[in-house]
Amino acid sequence: MEFLEWLQNSAFGMWVAGAPTIWAYPTILVFHTVGLAMVVGANALLDLRLLGVARAVPLAELQRVFRPMWIGFIINAASGVALFVAAAADTGVKPIFYVKLGVILLALVTAGLIRRVVFGDRAALDAPVRRQAKLFAAISLILWAAAITAGRLMAYM
């Protein structure tokens, strides 16, 4: 708890939370939303394709989604750290925050599994999508929906 307060009262924490400029907290929030759109948007695209949407799009082409996902994740990890530090004493003691991190971790693990199962074998790319991949895709969508929900609930809990 003392560490969390130290973080929140640090020069960086104070600047993010209190600087009378929209370039601090509000802008960092914008980046966090953009990152969310990139990670979830890109992953959802692949998940939907695996579940049968837009079958005319060659699955091999969608291996590219991992790059915007990675960029979005870096943006959100960085902006997330800034947001956390600014309110560490409050956020750090909220269970819902740790739920959010846990769900995000699971969603990223699922994305990694999809990458291995779907794109690990060149021959499999032309075959019909395996049921295992469809299951992972559905789980991925649910986990990202849960992450967004947990993120939103942080403002209320």
Contact residues for other proteins, defined by CB under 8 A: 22, 25-26, 29-30, 33-34, 36-38, 40-42, 44-45, 48-49, 53-58, 61, 64, 144-145, 148-149, 151-153, 155-156
Give the integer Cα–Cα distance in Å for 68 and 156. 30
Q: Considering the complex, what minimum distance in angstroms separates the CB of residue 28 from other proteins?
A: 10
- Which residue lies nearer to other proteins by CB, 34 or 78? 34
52: left (phi over 0), alpha (psi -120 to 50) or beta: left
Whose Cβ is closer to other proteins: residue 3's or residue 52's? Answer: 52
Q: How far is the CB of 130 from other proteins (least distance, A)?
A: 21
147 closest CA partner among 119, 111, 118 = 111
Least separation in angstroms between CB 86 and other proteins? 11
Q: Give pairs for 134-137: CB < 8 Å, separation 24+.
A: 134/50, 134/51, 136/50, 136/110, 137/46, 137/47, 137/48, 137/50, 137/51
Separation CA 29–CA 95 (nearest Å): 21
Q: How far is the CB of 2 from other proteins (least distance, A)?
A: 26
